[in-house]
Homo-oligomer: A and B are copies of this chain.
């Protein structure tokens, strides 16, 4: 680990890796010239590759999403602190208008999908009924594995005519109970629909200096493709996915779209609403909506694909995705920095936006408690600094097209920030292993909280100036009863507030909720920044949306899914849909 004291850490980092197809040799030599920082001592760092590794450990269940593998993993890792929010616990009654599954339904599905794609095995069903945290648990008796859009369409047409409720299921990495049944909904897994259909690479081959670069980067794939697999595929073609999240090894692109996933690179590439070019969606009645455009601009009528981005499978099932993928740029740099207070983190963000502007690709934030937790509970994660913990940490990644310039930009920025007192200590990744270990710290947070005990998780969007206040207020409120930590995407104003206790306790919950929602609403924040509402917060939507807006949502839900069979009990309050 390349870790240096404040007076040293800026010297001698170089963190770029050339892609497999390059036109010129990497500018970054094995022993780069040291960088002169006025008044600072110098060291030379070893310069090797520093791309984030293709495999991440955390949240990664398996690149296969088969339910039995998950189950084994669950029981090994998360067997201690569980609270299953079955339907009884969440105080929602089964919608009496839904039918119960019968043998004719099973026969129909088997005739259409084949026996092996109609799963009634108890173990596999058990795994598919429970979420990643073992917090939400349904009692579905049927898991279907369609292989193509036509089969999804036939399933929905049948279920709609029979009033059988369904839940679409992707990688099941959500945190709000959106992807598992509440009662006996039929589970429709998209795992078998994992084909990459095309990558529009634009004109090729070219004869200027290199031969296989491509320009458009428009990827079309099926909804069941795992995010990490897509990224690996794209990397070989000179592109990257515009989103990256800790769950990349399990989450599916259809689920990413349906939950409008944010993640680590949101600050650079923005929302999926800006990156998704087209979708294929199957509506509740089986109608296939072909909106699978591949154009950056298309102003012909209402842009309906946006209705399905973030609607958590309650308006239709996403079956294919067309997405604009950015070029994989030549140089990446990663710095882990320690700050003395939250205001310094804020200032650092402000400075980074101004000075690193177009190359900044991540700006992540962790407090002392978060760091402590991940060091304690995640195997192989080490403190990058020799000292004890600092109060606050920031992880800054830059990605650009020219490594010498980008490196110099980051260097100048870090120098100024250190001289200005914003940074107490820091380390810049020297190679792919160090970069990986930095990312492991940040990406291991969510899993560490689950391992650490009973955890209440909140995903808040807040104005940057109020970003960390809720952590202090919650600590004051809960006292010794709980450990309150905060981390998240400071660059996007997205705080992951985690409240850890020894065991789940309704008295503690009553001290947290509705306070956390009211506080967020008062500060004009959002009670779900990037996780969605799912089952957890379906009846909390009014904290973030006006009554008229929620009413229109309900009207649209009724228009698109008049029988209410799609992912029931989620997203919107049940009272508005009956």
B203 A549 Cβ-Cβ under 8 A:
no
Known pairs A202-B346, A215-B349, A300-B533 / 19 extra A-B pairs, C-beta < 8 Å = A202-B465, A203-B464, A206-B347, A216-B463, A259-B299, A270-B274, A271-B296, A289-B546, A291-B546, A295-B461, A297-B529, A299-B532, A301-B541, A303-B306, A306-B307, A327-B354, A355-B402, A357-B400, A358-B400
Stretch binding the partner chain, chosen from A53-61, A468-476, A504-512, A551-559: A551-559
Cα-based distance from A347 to B346 in the complex (angstroms): 41
Partner of A408, one of B209, B353, B401, B405: B405
- Decide if B300 touches A327 in the complex (CB within 8 Å): no
Check A9 for interface membership: any CB of B closer than 8 A.
Answer: no
The 10 closest A-B CB pairs, nearest first, are: A274-B274, A306-B306, A357-B401, A298-B526, A297-B529, A358-B358, A300-B544, A215-B350, A405-B405, A295-B461
Contact residues, A413-463 vs B (CB, 8 A): 416, 420, 422, 461-463
Shortest beta-carbon distance from A404 to chain B in Å? 9
Instruction: Write out the residue numbers on chain B whose beta carbons fall within 8 Å of the beta carbon of A273.
Output: 273-274, 303, 306
- A297 is contacted by which of B266, B294, B355, B463 (Cβ under 8 Å)? B266
- Does A159 lie at the interface of the complex (its beta carbon under 8 Å from any beta carbon of B)? no
Check if A327 sits within 8 Å of B357, measured CB to CB: yes
Q: Which of B295, B304, B549 contacts A553 (CB 8 A)?
A: B304
**Is there contact, CB below 8 Å, between B464 and A215?**
yes
Known contacts being A274-B274, A354-B327, is A571 close to B401, with CB within 8 Å?
no
B290 touches A548 (CB 8 A): yes
Residue A287 lies at the interface, judged by CB distance under 8 Å to chain B: yes
Q: Mind listing 9 A-B residue pairs with CB under 8 Å?
A: A273-B274, A289-B546, A296-B461, A296-B494, A301-B553, A301-B572, A302-B315, A327-B353, A358-B401
Residues on the B chain within 8 Å of A412, using CB: 402
A residues 191-250 in Cβ contact with B at 8 Å: 200, 202-203, 206, 208-209, 213-216
Residues of B within 8 A of A556 (CB): 302, 304, 556, 559
Complex Cα spacing A549 to B462, Å: 36
A287 touches B202 (CB 8 A): no
CB interface residues, A 362-409, toward B, < 8 Å = 399-402, 405, 408-409
Cα separation A416 to B354 with both chains bound (whole Å): 29
Q: Considering the complex, which residues of chain A in the window 248-301 have a beta carbon less than 8 Å from any beta carbon of chain B?
A: 259-260, 262, 266, 270-271, 273-275, 283, 287-291, 293-301
When the two chains form their complex, are residues B309 and A303 in contact, meaning their CB atoms are under 8 A apart? yes
Provide the residues of chain B in CB contact with A301, threshold 8 Å: 533, 541, 544-545, 549-550, 553, 571-572
Q: Which of B293, B329, B530 contacts A358 (CB 8 A)?
A: B329
State whether B550 touches A559 (Cβ < 8 A): no
Q: Is the CB of B260 within 8 A of A299?
A: yes
**Alpha-carbon separation in the docked complex, A346 to B203 (Å):** 8
Q: Are B289 and A464 in contact (CB under 8 A)?
A: no
Bound: A551/B479 CA distance, A: 56
**Nearest CB in chain B: distance from A550 CB, A:** 7
Partner of A559, one of B213, B283, B309, B559: B559
A94 interface residue (CB < 8 Å to B):
no
Neighbouring B residues of A311 by C-beta, 8 Å: 302
* Complex CA–CA separation, A575 to B421 (angstroms): 67
- Write the nearest CB–CB distance from A365 to chain B, whole angstroms: 14
User: How far, in whole Å, are A546 and B256 apart by their CA atoms in the complex?
Assistant: 24
Please report the C-alpha to C-alpha distance between residue A492 and residue B283 in the assembled complex, in whole angstroms.
31
A568 interfacial contact with B, CB 8 Å: no
Any B CB within 8 A of the CB of A524: yes
Chain B residue contacts of A14, Cβ below 8 A: none
Whether A347 and B405, one on each chain, are in contact in the complex, defined by CB atoms closer than 8 angstroms, is no
CA A260 – CA B529 in complex, angstroms? 24
Known A-B contacts A213-B350, A556-B556; the reply to A528 vs B299 at CB < 8 A is: yes
**Partner pick for A203 among B327, B347, B528, CB 8 A cutoff:** B347
Tell me, rounded to whole Å, the shortest Cβ–Cβ distance linking A410 to chain B: 11
For A544, list chain B residues within 8 Å (CB): 298, 300-301
- Structural contact, B358 and A300, CB atoms closer than 8 A: no
Looking across the interface, which residue of chain B has its beta carbon closest to that of A324?
B270
Residue from A206, A288, A327, A357 having most chain B Cβ neighbours under 10 A: A357
Determine whether A351 belongs to the interface, using a CB cutoff of 8 Å to chain B: yes
User: Is the C-beta of A531 less than 8 angstroms from some C-beta in chain B?
Assistant: yes
User: Are B300 and A545 neighbours in the complex by a CB distance under 8 Å?
Assistant: yes
Chain B proximity mask over A100-122: 1 for CB below 8 Å, otherwise 0: 00000000000000000000000
